[in-house]
Amino acid sequence: MVTEYIPSLAKFYLNSYNNFTINNMSYIFQDWKRNNNNTKGKIITSLFRLAHTISSKKYLKYILFPYLLFYRFFVEWLLGIELPWHTKVGSGLIVYHGQSIVVNKNSIIGYNCTMRQCLTIGNAKKNGKSPTIGNNVEIGANVCIIGDITIGDYVTIGAGSVVVKNIPPHSIVVGNPARVINTMS
């Protein structure tokens, strides 16, 4: 009975590994095209995607737990980027000048978003809700996006802005507190 169990367990892990590698290799490198000449951005996004994949599958989380520790040490402590592996991030993420970036794990970031240095995306109070950022959003340097707010699609947030209210789609936003200065059509 034990000898029958071992091969089936081995087959399960082998099939799981094959499915992981075949189906998720494109997932792990999905941001490379948009980070064309940005080596640091490619490294950060690939490490994030791999950690996200590992943490989403219970058996991989236990087997590859050392990688998750490596991710936390390398990306968070050495590079200074707190992008938790549980964060929901759409494809096409660009990270320019990746340093001093803090993203709450409950934040949701859409497709084709651009992040720059000294960025904070998080909740306004302990256990509060986090922002939802739409698709094709450009976020400038030294921006704070705080609270239970929604940033619409195709929004550009200027450097140094503090966003604490909802932003409609197709807007350009600047200032502290952030205000819409232009609406694109």
Strands 119-122 and 144-146, how do they pair?
parallel
Question: Is residue 19's pLDDT more than 60?
Answer: no
Mean pLDDT of 21-44: 84
Local confidence band at 10 (pLDDT 50, 70, 90 cut-offs): very low
Reference 149, options 178, 182, 116; nearest CA is 178
pLDDT of residue 2: 39
Task: Give the count of domains, the chain.
Answer: 1
Contacts of 167 (CB under 8 A, 6+ apart): 149, 150, 151, 152, 155, 157, 173, 178, 180
pLDDT of residue 58: 87
Tokens of 79: 């590079």
Question: Is residue 22's pLDDT more than 80?
Answer: no
pLDDT of residue 147: 95
The string of pLDDT tens digits covering residues 44-60 is 999 999 999 999 888 88
Higher pLDDT, 12 or 155: 155
Is the whole model's pTM more than 0.85, yes or no?
Answer: no
Contacts of 146 (CB under 8 A, 6+ apart): 120, 122, 123, 124, 131, 162, 163, 164
pLDDT of residue 26: 85
Helix H or strand E segment including 132:
strand 132-133
The label of the residue with tokens 């507190």 reads 177
CATH number at residue 19: 2.160.10.10
Mean pLDDT of 13-32: 62
Domain that holds residue 106: 2-183
Mean pLDDT (the chain) is: 87
Question: Is residue 7's pLDDT more than 60?
Answer: no
DSSP structural state of residue 72: I
pLDDT of residue 23: 58
Residue 87 phi, psi dihedral angles, 5° rounding: -65, 140
Local confidence band at 131 (pLDDT 50, 70, 90 cut-offs): very high
Cα–Cα distance, 110 to 92 (Å, whole number): 9
